[in-house]
Structure 1
Amino acid sequence: MPAHMEDRLAIRELVENWAVWRDAGDWARFATVWHPDDGWMTATWFQGPAAEFIAASRDGFERGVSILHFLGGHTADLAGDRAVAQTKMTINQRVVLDGVAADVVCTGRFYDFCARHAGEWKIVRRQPVYEKDRLDVVDPAARLELDPELLARFPAGYRHLGYAQTKAGFTVKTGLPGLTGPAVERLYDEGAKWLAGSATAGDPH
């Protein structure tokens, strides 16, 4: 098998391991997908080093927070020991809003800055791109009214996810990349610079 195909398969496996191990609460193996020196995770509810993300995810998992990930199409651009991978995904979160159980489904992409470390591919930075979302009550007979002022606080790509997470007690970051706009264009530029040899994987802050 050509080396570039082996790399592509390894990167795809890396992305899939992230989702399976994180959602299963397999924290020891989940830690292995991250670059040990400077892994970084950005999400609606968290922005920080991988080690802190693992700890926060574990705490939520043990408290019953239900955030699950499903993966779809995948592509990767390679440049030597670096890569940028994009993977279609959905984020599914079960929440209770004003006493009503609901599911939020957010569709987008994982945009991953990857590097080879000690012969294995690792995630240096993960930045989700939030394209669209929706909210559905679990019981079709239930009635739920959303606060329009709170809902309007978040971008269209993760409006309902941001609403639900705020109601659940999380602090949700605004201005994250969506399908179009300056934030995602900046992300694409950072990805191109990463492949060209930039010192850092963009500016996740």
Structure 2
Amino acid sequence: MAVILKAEKREDLSKSVTKQIRKNGNVPSVVYGKDKASKTITVNSVDLTKTVRDEGRNAIISLAVENDEPVNVMLHDYQLEPLRDDVLHADFYIVNMAEEMDVEVPLHLDGEAKGVKDGGVLQQPLFELQVRAKPADIPEQISADISDLDIGDTISIADLPESSAYEFLEDHETTIATVVPPDTVEETDEAPADEEAEPDLVGGSENDDEK
């Protein structure tokens, strides 16, 4: 059953009103979907944060907008205030419960690898996996047991349990965990300084007070 999140309509999109909405503890938001007209709304910041924390990033939310019938949505995107981590804006996408969709699901490694106990170093190249599933079948997370992983062993997507409810979209030979000898890690960390590439900047949009 979808968790209920109440929302109010937002018609005045001026900066001054948007600022006041946030000051009052609410989040300016947009709800939209395939062949659906977008609506500007506000939701309570505490309620939104609690919903995502308790139900997960891919939770199905029954969005109850005042005077309208509730609609099933997912939190598609959001903007955070960089210093306080306050939610500045949220996008909700209306989902069709009968249609499959592509989402990213957190990958969690269970257990302690035998190779780590023997001095090896665990490496996890991926922390999320792309899956395709109907909204109600989207798993909260994908788990992989690494307890039997020795030094030099790897686990790929192909080693994960299969499910009839969803499918993995990445190449099944993609490595999700490996244990490498400690000297391998040391050699990697000792690359010549002049050969080190500049780090990529994580792209981020400017805060948009008019949303």
TM superposition score category, shorter chain reference:
under 0.3
TM-score of the pair, normalised by structure 2: 0.26
TM-score of the pair, normalised by structure 1: 0.26
Task: Return the index of the structure with the highest Cα Rg.
Answer: 2
Which has the larger share of helix? Answer: 1
